Structure 1
Amino acid sequence: MKDLFDYCKFGDLNLNSRIIRTGLWESERESSGNLTPEIYNRYENIAASGVGLIITELISLYPRDAFSKYSHTPHFKRFVREFKDLTDLVHVYDVPIFAQLGFVQFNKHAEQNMRVEDLSIEDIRKIQTDFIITCQKIDYAGFDGVQIALGNYYFLTRFISPYFNKREDKYGGSTVNRLRIVLEMIKVIKQNTKLHINVRLNAFEIQSGGMTIDDTIEIAKLLEKHGVDSLQITRPRSPQFFSKDNDRTPSEFTSREIKKKNPLIEESEKIMENVNIPVIMGGGVNNQNQINNILNKSKIEFISMQRPFVADPTFLVEWELKGNGQSKCIMCNNCYWKKTSTCFFPRSCKDKF
């Protein structure tokens, strides 16, 4: 039987568990650089907890992007130095760490929040160049990999979406054309760094005319063909997708019930059937029985968690010691919507749930 604390392989990497910590937003930063002592302490606590892989809070490609003012950015002079200290700290616990890289808005001089179809070829080359240069910095900083943000509604997500991308040149139209901006970047990144490349993808899009699961499968196959090493599957957030029925034991759930309560399982499995690289199922779980049940009643091998690590960076320690663990996170989503790495729900109130 599979267990969330299994030692396992993730491509060429060795993991201490099947749990992938994916970062949200950063909420603190020193004026002279990216990282505070509190940030180093948070990452050390997560690394020491028994996590398999850490993916950082978002590193925003552009400093004027539409994120929290505290988001990490590669434009600080001490970016490589500070993050090298961070990766060295995490590696003490034999935990690999990826840098999450993306942006929401592309701004050019007075033109703000440009649409995909408004970008010139020179603009596309600038985005690609900025990504490649930042990946080289990420490599120098000692990261094991990079996660390219193509999920949710980051700018490159809109680029690969038939709903948003209305271009009529070689960067629009067919799936491979819409993905071309990413495929060209991946080729150069693979040639010039040692990074494991992970791509975060929406399983599908909610809006009519957006990506379907079949589109995502086609994109996943193209990404693998062009050198991507792993995928993380996510979806736009909606409260009805995930059940809060977390008190039942594993024996009380059937495979059909699990997939009904978390449809992302079935979508992730469909993608897994079409690629030969690791696939992470992203989000929506917060207790030990639930995770082990998913692992043993589906093909899922790796599960991402975000909000539980915001509520308590060390919760996996107690889970491994006592079993049948339940996260303190009640999935209120305040940390997500307020774009912060801080839990806003009072701990005393959590004890009532």
Structure 2
Amino acid sequence: MKDLFDNCSFGEFELNSRIVRTGLWESQRESSGNLTPEIYNRYENIAASGVGLIITELFSLYPRDAFSKYSNTVNYTRFVREARDLTDLVHVYDVPIFAQLGFVQFNKRAEHNVKIEDVTIEDIRKIQTDFIIAAQKFDYAGFDGIQIALGNYYFLTRFISPYFNKREDKYGGSTFNRLRIVLEIIKVIKANTKLHINCRLNAFDIQKGGMTIEETVEIAKLLEKHGVDSLQITRPRSPQYFSRENYSKSILANACNRIIDEVDIPVIMGGGITNQKQINNVLNKTKVDFISMQRPFVCDSSFLVDWQIEGNGEVKCKACNNCYWKKTSTCFIFPEAEWNVDYSSE
């Protein structure tokens, strides 16, 4: 039987467990973008807790993006040096770390939130170049991989969705054409870095006329064919909008099963699960091997330590979703200081 604390393989990595920590907002950074002691402490707590893989909070690609003030950035002079300190710290605990990269709005000059069909070929080349430059910085900084945000409602998510993309050139129309912008980015990153490439992908769109699970399966196969090393399958909206009952038979688990049947790369199932029993139930009643969690790590960055001791753990997170709506990396019910673990004496 599978257990969430199994040592297991994930592509070229050996993981300490099947749990993937996925980040979202970064509220503890300095206004200049620099990493703070609170950030380093939080990542050390997560890495030391027994997590298998860490995916960072979002690094927003553009400073004028809607999410840039809630996210960290690669666009300051000390980024590579400070990020290298962060990745070195995480690697002390034999945990790989991926940098999550994306943006929501494409703005140019006086134009804000340019529509997909109004993005020119020159704009596409700029976006691709900016992704590639950021990926090279991640590589220099010691990250093991990059997560390209193709899920939820980031810009590239909308670019690959038939609901939003009404282009009539080679970057619109068919599934392959809508995905072309991403495949071209992947090709150059693979040729110029050592990074593992993970793509975070919606299982389906909630809009009529959007991506269905059948098209998501097709996209997953195309991503694998063109060099993607792993996938994370998520929902387009927060887990609080979906029932938490019987995760092994949930829509998301069924979608992951279908994708896993069609690809030979690791597939991570998105979060919303609240306890150890549920996770092991999913691991043993579906084809899913890896589970991601986000809000429980905001509530208590070291909760997996207790889970390993107790054997029947329950997350402390109350799913109030304030960390999501208020776009913060800290919990409003349980301040991080209550759970901060000091490993210096161990």
TM tier, shorter chain?
over 0.9
- Distance change >3 Å, CA 64–CA 240, structure 1 → 2: closer
Instruction: Give the Cα–Cα distance (whole angstroms) in 2 for the partners of residues 32 and 169 of structure 1.
Output: 40
Instruction: Give the Cα–Cα distance (whole angstroms) in 2 for the partners of residues 114 and 237 of structure 1.
Output: 23
Structure 1 counterpart SS, 2:269: strand
Two-structure CA RMSD over aligned residues (Å): 1.2
1:281 aligns with 2:269: yes
Among 242, 257, 279, the residue aligned to 1:291: 279
Structure 2 counterpart SS, 1:125: helix
- Contact kept in structure 2, 1:56 and 1:98, CA below 8 Å: yes
The match for 2:10 is: 10
| 1:49-128 to 2 correspondences below 5 Å | 49-67=49-67, 69-128=69-128
In the alignment, structure 1 segments of 5+ residues that lack a partner are 246-256, 348-353
- Contact kept in structure 1, 2:62 and 2:68, CA below 8 Å: no
Decide which moves more: 62-71 or 8-17: 62-71
- Distance change >3 Å, CA 7–CA 258, structure 1 → 2: same
Q: Percent identity?
A: 77
Instruction: Give the Cα–Cα distance (whole angstroms) in 2 for the partners of residues 120 and 174 of structure 1.
Output: 18
1:164 aligns with 2:164: yes
Among 304, 308, 314, the residue aligned to 2:292: 304
Decide which moves more: 233-242 or 152-161: 233-242
| 1:174-213 to 2 correspondences below 5 Å | 174-213=174-213
Structure 2 counterpart SS, 1:69: helix
- Distance change >3 Å, CA 58–CA 154, structure 1 → 2: same
Which amino acid letter does the alignment assign opposite residue 118 of structure 1? Answer: D
- Contact kept in structure 1, 2:299 and 2:334, CA below 8 Å: no
Which amino acid letter does the alignment assign opposite residue 274 of structure 2? Answer: N
Instruction: Give the Cα–Cα distance (whole angstroms) in 2 for the partners of residues 93 and 226 of structure 1.
Output: 32
Shift of 1:31: 3.3
In the alignment, structure 2 segments of 5+ residues that lack a partner are 336-346
Deviations 1:37-77 (A, max 9, x none): 00000000000000000000000000111115241111111
The match for 2:314 is: 326
Structure 1 counterpart SS, 2:292: strand
Which amino acid letter does the alignment assign opposite residue 168 of structure 2? Answer: E
Deviations 1:117-150 (A, max 9, x none): 0011000000000000000000000000000000
- Distance change >3 Å, CA 258–CA 73, structure 1 → 2: closer
Which amino acid letter does the alignment assign opposite residue 175 of structure 1? Answer: T
- Distance change >3 Å, CA 6–CA 184, structure 1 → 2: same
Which amino acid letter does the alignment assign opposite residue 131 of structure 1? Answer: F
1:265 aligns with 2:266: no
Instruction: Give the Cα–Cα distance (whole angstroms) in 2 for the partners of residues 259 and 161 of structure 1.
Output: 27
- Contact kept in structure 1, 2:65 and 2:104, CA below 8 Å: yes
Q: What is the TM-score of this pair, normalised by structure 2?
A: 0.94
Instruction: Give the Cα–Cα distance (whole angstroms) in 2 for the partners of residues 130 and 205 of structure 1.
Output: 27
Number of aligned residue pairs: give it: 334
Instruction: Give the Cα–Cα distance (whole angstroms) in 1 for the partners of residues 111 and 91 of structure 2.
Output: 42
Decide which moves more: 327-336 or 35-44: 327-336
Q: What is the TM-score of this pair, normalised by structure 1?
A: 0.93
- Contact kept in structure 1, 2:33 and 2:73, CA below 8 Å: no
- Contact kept in structure 1, 2:247 and 2:273, CA below 8 Å: no
The match for 1:241 is: 242
Instruction: Give the Cα–Cα distance (whole angstroms) in 2 for the partners of residues 139 and 264 of structure 1.
Output: 32
